[in-house]
Structure 1
C-alpha cells in the first residue's frame, strides 16, 4: 500500500538568487533525511559507510522560458556504471524511521524494495529465494476517511485576513517591537514564525546555539540590544535544553526576573524544549516521560484557564512531540495544564512575570486552538518586576 504525493509550489525569486541556487537549497528532501535536517544529515554522514550517490537525490528539468520546473526524489534507485569489460550497478532502497518502527521489519521492507528493482532490471530478486519472497498483488488503495480528532484539525489552518509581519534571520536590521524566536534546530521553527507573522508580529529568528568568543551572556546582551523584542519565544528542538546555551541563558534570566529591556521584563513563551529550559532554569527536574515518547500525536490538554490558557476551552486538542517531561518543584513557576490522565505536565505559568511554557506545538495543524493560545501570548505585555518596584520606592 504505497501513497505518493505530488505538490505544486509557487513563488518569486528573491533578489540575488538564481534558479540553480534555489533548486540546490531544496535538496536533500526532508522525507529522505529526517528532521531536524541539520542533525540527521550529520548522523547520516557518520553512520552510512559510503556516499549515497544519486539515491535520495533528484532528477528533473527546468523550463526556463516559462518559469516552471519538475523534480522528483529518487527513492528506489539502480545506478549503473560501465567498467573495462562489463557494467556494474548499485541498487539502493530504504524507508522512513519513526518512534514505533521495528528494526527487523524496516530492514525487511528495504530488501523488498530493492528486490523489486533488481527483478525488473535483471529478472531476479537480490537477497531472496523464491520461498522468501512470495508473489503479492499490487493494488492502489484510497486514502481512508478519518473520524474523531482528525475532524477537528482543519480550523488550525484558517488564518484571519490582515497585515502579516516580516520574518528575518538574525543578524539583521533593528526590528523594534518584534517577536524574537530562538531556533533550537527544529524543523517547525519556520512554521512558528509563519503563524506569528500571520498574527501581525514581525519575527526575528536567532540561533539558540551560537555565541561569540566572549561569553553567552554577552551574546544575549547583544541579541536583545540589536533586536529590541517585545516578546521572546524559546523554540522546540531535539536533545536536551542544555545543548542550546542561548536558550538556557534567556531562560535563566527570565525566571530570575532579569530579562530586562527598557526597564521592563520581556514576555517569554517556551515551546517544548523551550518550555523544558524554563523549568530547568527554575530548578525543576527533566526526566524521560513515564508514558514513553510521542511523535505527532494529537493529545487532550486539560488546563485551569490561567496564563496563556485564558480564553481557551478547559479541554483542547494539541499536537505533541516529546520524550522528556518536567517534574514540577516548589518555585514561582506554577503548573497550569496536564495531559488527559492528569499525570504529565503540559504547561506552566509564572506567579508574577509574563512567562509561560507548553509541552506541545501550538503552531501545528493538529492544534486547533493553538492559534488562539499564541494570540494570548501576543497580548502579553512587558512588566516592571517586583524588585524593581521596591528599588524605585527606596529612591529619594
Structure 2
C-alpha cells in the first residue's frame, strides 16, 4: 500500500476515527484504525464493537492495500506535522511497518493484520430516510444534556428517537431524561420515516454524531433497524448499536396543566442562577425561586459557605410561589433556549415545572423541584 494525502484531509479523517477508539481495551486490534487504500480514496475505519465509523478521504493512491495501525498514535503524529504538508504513507510488507513521511519527518509504525480487524455486521434497515443536518443537530443537541449517567438504568443512557403524535400531526421526536429533568424535542417528520422503529441512541454515539452535523448544507442519510442506526454523509458513515431496552412512558411526567406562568429573559436568568449558585454547597447545588408579581428573587443559603440573593424583573401575575431547584439543572435547561425569552409553567412547590421557548411547543423541558 502506498499513497499520498494532504495533511489537513488526513488529520480530519484520523481524528474522527480515533475518537471512537476506547483508550483502555483488552483487545489490541480495537486500538487500531483500519486503513484501506483503493482507487482515488483512502478509507479509515475504527470501532469499539458498539460504534463503527468509516471516513472516506481523497488521496493519490499509487499502490492499493490495507493495514491497521494504532489510532491515537497516528492522530498525534499527523496533528504535529506542519500545516500544508503532503504526507506520504507506505506499508512495508516485509517489516510489517507503516512509514509516514512529511518533509524531513519520518515515522515507522507497527501494524496488526487487517484480517484481525472486526467489521460491524451489516443490518437490514426497516426505515431509510434523509434529514437536513441542522434538523438532526437540533434534536440531539437540545436533548442530550438530560441523558442519564446512571449505568444501572441503562435504558436512560441515550436519546430516544422515535415517531410520535405532535400537536399538528406526526413528528420525529427526541427524548432524554435522567429522572430529575427531561427534554422533549420535535421536528417535522421526514419523508419515508413513518415506519421507523423507536430506538435509544447511546450517549457516545450522540457525541460522535455531532461531528457529522456541522455542515448546515448537508443532507444526512439515516437508516434504522431494531438493533442498529446508521448516519451517513458522502464522506463519513457512522453505524451504532442501539440500547437494548424499553424507554419509559415519558408522557406521564410532562405536566399538562401548570397554571402559574413566568416569562423571563433566558440569558439573564441563566447568568443570575450561575451567580447565586457560586455559594451553594457542591452536594446539593440548591437555589430557591421566590415569585411575586413581576418579580423573581433567586436565593441560596448554604450554612457552610454563606448566602446569595439576586432579583430579576419577570412577567408573572399569579399568586406567590416559593420553589427550589438544582442550580445546574436550571442552567442547563435555560441554556437550551434559542429565543430571547423562556417561559416557566408552575403548579406548586412540590410538582414538576415545565419550561419552553415562548409559545413554541416543539421544545419542552421538565425539571423536578427539590426542597430548600
| Greater fraction of residues in strand | 2
| Greater fraction of residues in helix | 1
For Structure 1 versus Structure 2, the TM-score category normalised by the shorter chain is under 0.3
TM-score, with structure 1 as normaliser: 0.24
TM-score, with structure 2 as normaliser: 0.25
